[in-house]
Amino acid sequence: MSVILKEKITGPAAWKGPDIAADPAWLYHFTPDDIAVLDAALATLKARGRAFPRFGAQDFPIAPLVPRLTAFADELENGRGFKLLRGLPVERYSDAEINAITYGIGLHLGQPVCQNPRGDLLGEVMNVGDIHDKNTRVYETNLYLPYHSDPSDVVGLVCVRKARQGGLSSLVSVAAIYNEILDKHRELLGLYYRPIHFAHLCEPQPSLSPIFSYHQGKLSCRYLRQYIELGADICKLPLSRVEIEALDVFDRVMADPALRLDMMLEPGDLQFANNYAVLHSRTEFEDHEDLALRRKMLRLWLKMPNARALAPEFPGRNGFPAPETAAA
């Protein structure tokens, strides 16, 4: 078990939503020059006969934007852990062009990784699932999506269309959660550092991971209660009373309005979050009847070149193996 941090975390990672809601530092507006660079890169891609996902960073040249993206990557790892880019004119582009731009930006930020065994590098987050089917994932419905981290260094979400009503995106700082637990529930702290079975970590069977890990001066977190409970069921290792209490406390703290930051993602928004430093959620929403008008997000998982070192007992997760690798 890694060292248990017994002091509060300070610095930009320990933000509270109400304190930074009006702070413009986490929001970047694309300029007309930025859009011109992206349009030129899209034209280059087409001229080379390339399309998503069969192209590399060199096929989508956006050199003027690279220094800014590098700064954003540093903010994701060493700052607040999230960034919102606003103003991509999605209404001007076809679905194929939006996919290419999203993937192209991702290639210059990090390395896109597979989101399922099929090898999909972009995930469509839409309300198209049957809520009565136990195999339907929550992100495929309009239901509340609990706070969680995805199995990659960074997750990106691109808003193509909003719901008719609702569907707020919520973020919460892992450091702020930790500070609150340290302050009010210190007796439970050791439980969060103890390895526990998680299901659905891009592996066929549950694997062990702690919820919190402190390594080389950085706190990391992995959390989705559903996957912890499913892991316990599959392994036939029921959670103890005190473990359930610890999860209940975690759930209450992370959903506290005094900690979380709620935002409505507008069409053309790109939200990036560090999965070790920030948990994300979505409120329930009312969608359009017409499938072509329904809320649509594109999800990108990235392995980052500047990602933190992780403790051996907190193994990194960066998507599923590519299909050809899995078959080898």
pTM for the model stands at 0.93
Give the model's confidence band at 139: pLDDT under 50 very low, under 70 low, under 90 confident, else very high.
low
Query: From CA 234, how far away is CA 253, in angstroms rounded?
Result: 27
Give the model's confidence band at 132: pLDDT under 50 very low, under 70 low, under 90 confident, else very high.
very low
Cβ-based neighbours of 218, under 8 Å, separated by 6 or more: 276, 308
Bridge-partner residues for 154, per DSSP? 274, 302
Is residue 259 within 8 Å of residue 176, measured between CB atoms? Answer: yes
DSSP for residue 24: G
- What's the chain's average pLDDT? 92
Q: Which long-range contacts (CB under 8 A, 24 or more apart) does 20-25 make?
A: 20/80, 20/261, 21/261, 25/80
pLDDT digits (tens, 9 = 90+) for 159-170: 999 988 878 999
**Least confident interval from 11-20, 23-32, 129-138, 277-286:** 129-138
Encode 255-270: b = buried (16+ Cβ within 10 Å), e = exposed. Answer: beeebbbebebeebbb
pLDDT digits (tens, 9 = 90+) for 309-321: 999 999 888 999 9
The class of domain 17-327 in CATH terms is alpha beta
DSSP for residue 264: P
Query: From CA 254, how far away is CA 183, in angstroms rounded?
Result: 14
How many alpha carbons fall within 13 Å on the CB side of residue 136? Answer: 16
Q: Is the pLDDT of residue 90 over 90?
A: yes
Which residue from 71, 141, 86 is spatially nearest to 295, judged by alpha carbons? 141
Is residue 76 within 8 Å of residue 272, measured between CB atoms? Answer: yes
pLDDT of residue 286: 76
CA distances from 86 to 67, 156, 213, 264, 269 (A): 18, 13, 33, 12, 4
pLDDT digits (tens, 9 = 90+) for 9-21: 999 999 999 999 9
Give the model's confidence band at 285: pLDDT under 50 very low, under 70 low, under 90 confident, else very high.
low
Query: From CA 155, how far away is CA 172, in angstroms rounded?
Result: 14
Average pLDDT over residues 22-45: 97
DSSP string across 171-185: EEEHHHHHHHHHHH-
Q: Is the pLDDT of residue 57 over 70?
A: yes
Going from N- to C-terminal start, the domains of the chain cover 17-327
Is residue 73 within 8 Å of residue 81, measured between CB atoms? Answer: no
